Structure 1
Amino acid sequence: MKRADLLEAWHSHLAQGRRRSPHTVRAYVATAARLLDELGDSDWDSLSRIAAPALRAQLARRRADGISNASAARELSALKAFIRFAREQTGASDPAPPRMRGPRIKKGLPRPVTPDEAVNLAATIEEDATEPWIGARDRAVLLLLYGAGLRIAEALSLTGAALPLDETLVVTGKGAKQRMVPLLPIVRDAVADYVGKCPWPLDKAGPLFRGAKGGPLSQGMVQKAMTRARIALGLPPSATPHALRHSFATHLLGAGADLRSLQELLGHASLGSTQIYTKVDAAVLLDVYRSAHPRS
């Protein structure tokens, strides 16, 4: 089978079958092309028989090119996906790729947005929406992330049973673990504004936040709206919906909240997940110092 045919099938699977982003498609196809260059003539059957040692050798060659741990981890993920696809083409009973542990990646610190940036993002998203109710909806979602520290999935999983909002809200987080979070008046008002404008009936069993056609609002739509707003405001790519949750945590910690209370509010299973915000808060203070101190 020709190399070009293998890559074309892989490209089609990623772009049309899996609906991956153009950037991901390019990267995964390039990874497959490098592997095929090393192997020479190949077909789905020979690719399906590739074992872990061959993948390690390919990864070692890429590491010799000077790629970082993060790039190596992405390369390994792409290789595994390609081998899985090859095994699926042969009808293998077990399409799982060879088991390999990727390189360790040091977690970077979360990058929160400032209070002004959070407010401006919410306002910009509301102003740029195609319809007033959609703008009110997106603003309400963002304020739940920033004002109550919800994960985006938690906000979008709320149903009409949460209405009318009170001073606290019971949220179901990871592992079906429930927690109670306080709601600021600005958050409650934003949700009430959306509810008053929403053209769809919000029954107790249905989703609170609706898409343009009445179905559940998807994370992708919120992320796209956030991307447009942060570009309009000249903010970095790190200004994502999840960054608003980071900001909630960082600003509370800076205002004197203790780690145990913050752990409960965020729904973290372990205190270790919450402790990273002590480093974030210190990093923010250092940035302020460097920008403001005359001798820095």
Structure 2
Amino acid sequence: MAEITASLVKELRERTGAGMMECKKALTENNGDIDAAAEALRKSGAAKADKKADRVAAEGRIGVAQSGGKAVLVEINSETDFVANDSNFKAFVDAVAQAALASGAADVETLKAAKLASGETVEEARATAVQKLGENIQIRRIAKVDGNNNVGAYVHTNGKIGVLVDLAGGNAELAGGIAMHVAAMNPQYNQAADVPADFVEKEKEIELAKMSDKDKSKPADILEKIISGKIAKIVNEVTLYGQEYVLDADKRSVEAVAKAAGADVVGFQRLVVGEGIEKVVEDYAAEVAKAMQV
């Protein structure tokens, strides 16, 4: 039996990210062969990753990568905000974003097979991250812009909101500013023409129901003007072009600012970490019991 030294255990731990006792056990079982021990830990880590896969991962970060007229956002989820703020998790998110940009992947499954700068595939690196950080980690979504326009790419400082803006004309600075605006104001549509007719009709019903009997008794043409004015205000609130541009000192609309710069917003994409994921709340005792079974 080869001697299992502390330095050998330390080397294996740094190589795999596994715990000290796991590394010592793997080396002992593989007669001190560090390559065989590393492979055994990887296999063990994959098994652990499978067990963790049913846990809800609704935290995480948005990663961004950009080059010229190309940009991507990736949403990668973790179970807790603690792991989302871990330096290893942040590095993984950044590496995946760069791999998404370099590979041109348009969907998550394609992205999983893309290679990182380290030579690992994204999926291999994800399994390693699960083992190292001890949580379910999932690559959930990818958004991309790939064209010849100006691209605004922005991720908020907390890593929770990411935006891409495709801007025809104008310049990169304006594209970036509009991306920040979208992150802050969360418009649902680009411009008035994009707002669904059923949304408008529903808002008309609501505004009419809110009106007093006195207002409802006004002549039809006046009533229509009142309702139209209210609907126009609502449409402005939910559309990018109708909103007041947050970076404009003169409080012009985004549309006015864009047109003044000879630009037009072709479209935008906004990702928020965990949106649409139902979070499961468990009491502490239940969480401990569940962890003991993993």
Identify whether the pair has TM-score above 0.5, normalized to the shorter chain: no
Name the structure where helix makes up a greater proportion of residues.
1
Normalising by structure 2, we get a TM-score of 0.21
Normalising by structure 1, we get a TM-score of 0.21
Q: Which has the larger radius of gyration?
A: 2
